[in-house]
Structure 1
């Protein structure tokens, strides 16, 4: 059976199939997973526990619709720092991590230093956030704002169905 080698755990086709199912719906009963991939429910349970303990599965979370919780605007922001000393990068990471409106934060290589994904109630709230997070920070050189018009695909689903030799249940 094909395998995927990671830094700490080798995944076989059963593991990949389990992950594919859990990524679509992590409330899928283990007996249904077992039926779909032709394993016993206890074997599925052991594999899921191993995937969690090894850190392959990092969390079981609910994905929320921002509009339904009063955060209808999704904004992508590229942030460029003035100086890139490690202590200043760490300060920026800490500030972004502490801001509730920041849903995702990526420290990246390339033309910008950080890419932020924000959810805010209004443009007025975004303006207040920019004053607090960017304009008040002497190490922010510039930031570029992209207002999301449509959430076409979200989440962190891995494309496990593209692994050669492994077919995952639909």
Structure 2
């Protein structure tokens, strides 16, 4: 399912991905549209589901989340109900910022943000070590984050 975007829509989205707090007046000026026409386009992008949310991005270190962890998870067997149960469990885990079901040697790739290693150990005990459908998991600790973006290339 895709939405037909023209050059103006792409320009609007590129600007909003960098600064969603820009006023409609400023956005219209940068795009070269009248403010009412710009507002109509932004509303259409929201209503159609192209724009799904407008959020504040927080510096994790400023709120005590110092460690980025990547976890590879392998389930005991390929079964939809097992996958669905695991996805629900990861959705409920506040440490998990992203959960991907992937192809290859592992079944899931998790991105976590935690305060410290004790927090990660508590997470593994609560969500991973006790899951009978989980065959194994591997932890990768990020030494630093060199690139991070929420922008979708247009």
Short-chain TM bin: over 0.9
2:120 to 123, 126, 135: 126
What are the superposed Cα offsets for residues 94-127 of structure 1, whole Å, 9 maximum, x if unpaired? 0000000001111112221111110111001101
Aligned equivalents of 1:125 and 1:8: distance in 2?
Answer: 40
Match of 2:22 in 1: 28
1:78 to 72, 88, 103: 72
Match of 1:148 in 2: 142
What are the superposed Cα offsets for residues 23-42 of structure 1, whole Å, 9 maximum, x if unpaired? 00100111111111111111
Aligned equivalents of 1:54 and 1:111: distance in 2?
Answer: 36
Structure 1 unaligned segments of length 5 or more: list them.
1-6, 161-170
Aligned equivalents of 1:8 and 1:132: distance in 2?
Answer: 38
Are the counterparts in 2 of residues 79 and 143 from structure 1 also a CA contact under 8 Å? yes
Number of residue-to-residue matches in the alignment: 154
Q: Any residues of structure 2 matched to 1:3-152 within 5 Å, and which?
A: 7-152=1-146
Aligned equivalents of 1:121 and 1:111: distance in 2?
Answer: 29
1:144 Cα deviation from its structure 2 partner: 1.1
Q: Please, what is the CA RMSD of the aligned residues? A: 1.0
What are the superposed Cα offsets for residues 32-64 of structure 1, whole Å, 9 maximum, x if unpaired? 111111111111111111111111100001111
TM-score by length of 1: 0.87
Structure 2 unaligned segments of length 5 or more: list them.
none
- What SS class does the counterpart of residue 10 from structure 1 fall into? coil
TM-score by length of 2: 0.96
1:156 Cα deviation from its structure 2 partner: 2.2
